[in-house]
Amino acid sequence: MEENNEREFYTLTDEEGNEIEFELIGVTEYKGNTYYAMIPVE
């Protein structure tokens, strides 16, 4: 398994138009679907 030490950040917008930044902490595939685990950046 190859390890990537580079951090990835994503900015998501909620229903009210507020932007929230998240850090990606994990990705997994299950039954043909990809799931992303993210935590909010403080």
Residue 1 inside a domain? The answer is no
* Tokens linked to 34: 């990809």
Domain that holds residue 33: 9-40
Residue 3 in any domain: the answer is: no
Q: Report yes or no on 25 lying in a domain.
A: yes
| pLDDT given for residue 3 in this prediction | 64
- The answer to whether residue 17 is domain-embedded is yes
pLDDT, residue 5, reads: 76
- The pLDDT, as a whole number, for residue 15 is 97
Q: Does residue 36 lie in a domain region? A: yes
Q: What is the mean pLDDT of residues 3-28?
A: 93
pLDDT per residue as tens digits for the range 24-41 = 999 999 999 999 999 999
Q: Is 14 within a domain? A: yes
Q: How many domains does the chain have?
A: 1
Q: Is 21 inside a domain boundary?
A: yes
Euclidean distance between CA atoms 32 and 37, whole angstroms: 17
If one counts every other C-beta atom within 10 angstroms of the C-beta of residue 38, the result is 17
User: Is 2 within the bounds of a domain?
Assistant: no
- Percent of the chain surpassing pLDDT 90: 83
**pLDDT the model gives residue 36:** 97
